[in-house]
Amino acid sequence: MIGGSVTLYQGTSIQRGELLHLSEPLVSLPRLLNILNSFGKVSGYKVNLEKRELLAICQVIQSAARSQFLFKVNTKKFKYLGVWVL
């Protein structure tokens, strides 16, 4: 399937959002993006590319997320539904 594990946390606000925890992100992230793209074609939903963010601990993943996946990369915190997550 995706490779590694994926944990999904759904937002419950009007401003809907999801948090994902990925193990082995260099393997699982491309697969997840393909799955989301396929789901979007069928359902009509899509990921807001301007708002996707990644909290990366490892420098290798930070670099790959910026160059390969075009994510906004955070190294210490990010804002989720108006709340800072550290």
Contact, 12 vs 45, CB < 8 A? no
Contacts of 68 (CB under 8 A, 6+ apart): 30
Q: What per-residue confidence (pLDDT) applies to 16?
A: 64
* 78-80 vs 83-85, strand pairing mode: antiparallel
pLDDT tens track for 31-43 = 888 888 888 888 8
Over 80: is that where the pLDDT of 51 sits?
no
Q: Against a cut of 0.85, is the pTM above it?
A: no
pLDDT tens track for 54-64 = 888 888 888 88
Q: What per-residue confidence (pLDDT) applies to 3?
A: 52
Domain boundaries, the chain: 6-85
Give the position of tokens 């994510």: 71
Which tokens sit at 40? 């979007």
Over 60: is that where the pLDDT of 67 sits?
yes
